[in-house]
A = this chain, B = another copy of it.
Amino acid sequence: MGIIVQKYGGTSVATPERVKNVAKRIVKTKNEGNRVVVVVSAPGDETDDLISLANQITDSPDEREMDVLLACGEQKSIALMTIAIKALGYDAISFTGPQVGIVTDDVHGKARIVKVGSEKIEKALNLDKIVIVAGFQGMDTDMDITTLGRGGSDLSAVAIASALNADVCELYKDVDGIMTANPKVCPDATLLPRITYEEMLELASAGAQVVNARSIEYAQNYNVPMRVRSSFNDNPGTLVVKEAKEMEKLFVTGITYNKDESKISVLGIKDTPGMAAIIFSAVALENVNIDMIVQDVSEDGITNISFTVPTGEVKKTVKALESVKDKVGIKKILTDDSITKVSAVGVGMKSHSGVAAMMFEALAEAGVNIDMITTSEIKISCVIAQKDCETAVRALHAKFNLGKK
């Protein structure tokens, strides 16, 4: 009998009524002859509510205690879900992250999983129980409660699926699966029945928020088959797998965008070795996540560097830059939050030349000016003006022939 790990997000367990609906779906999976392990998130706005309580006490709540506080959300969900399943007449048991042996490092608020115990879950499955596990949480080796950070419940599900050697890890979302583009922007966007881990990763880092990058990476590293599907219908969704022969025909799989980045330009830097290192070390000290970096061709021993960061981190970044201003000889720091990054992703790029050219052509035809460009093996990203975002996405979606036929 195969093992299926299912993960349901906060929206799916926001009210007792929704918990009951999800319980029915879980029981259905069990009745189809599977051994079922379910990972749940905190109900609805619970996590935000808990954070707000702490912030009413202090601006900078202790990180260890925030994890103790936030872990309550998922604990509530596992209890309610198990109660709902048992009320349907099926045997079930809940476990918190610590109970099930999800061991992490001790970096509170964004802990990394070190080990996942499978013994308790396997014992319960052998007793024919449905197992409900709290997502997002674990414990360090001191038995202190830790949380995994944004997207943590997806990560819990993937890690548990890996530890159990599950047949599939199903991530239930409020969308049908992974689309060729945001259907709100491209009404003819289509659902991708399959996608590779690599493409999912690039899509995630390029702004598609469906599944968190860490979970995809974990699934890729441990080769966990992952399915992204809707909790509102029975459609099969998108299966995420290793690269497959048939997929190579498509050289672009999807178009995505991220409006939440800002461009920072550092002007008038002395063009001597080590300047970039000083600048980016200073920024790294502030824990800012830098995305694209472009350095101008230098003129008269002076150069400019532009890079993008999440808009929320502009302030910290500028502060860091100010601290090395004299050392590097920075003349001016410019920030621009009216940009957007659009990306085309596809494993097919590896074997198809000319994708970049097609992309630039499409944007030119649409009258969209390109500000910065970066490429990876399977992704091309362009920074453009935010006002052009929708135009650009639609143009690229059409150019690569991704819409409904």
Contacts and interface: CB of A to CB of B under 8 A. Distances in A.
A325 interface: no
Interface size class of chain A, counting residues whose CB lies under 8 Å from the partner chain: 35 or more
Interface in A261-289: none
A62 interface: yes
A17 B53 CA distance: 10
A66 interface: yes
Work out how many copies of this chain go into the complex. Answer: 2
Most buried by B among A19, A53, A61, A76: A76
Contact of A84 (B17, B58, B82, B93): B58
Nearest to A134: B68
Interface in A76-117: 76, 78-80, 82-84, 86-87, 93-94, 96, 99
11 contacts: A53-B76, A54-B79, A58-B86, A64-B93, A65-B83, A65-B86, A66-B83, A69-B75, A69-B80, A72-B75, A99-B144
Contact of A87 (B61, B76, B82, B83): B61
A50 interface: yes
Most buried by B among A56, A57, A86, A99: A57
A386 B156 CA distance: 58
Contacts of A236: none
A143 interface: yes
A20 interface: yes
Closest 8 CB pairs of A and B: A69-B79, A58-B87, A16-B56, A68-B79, A72-B72, A61-B83, A65-B82, A62-B86
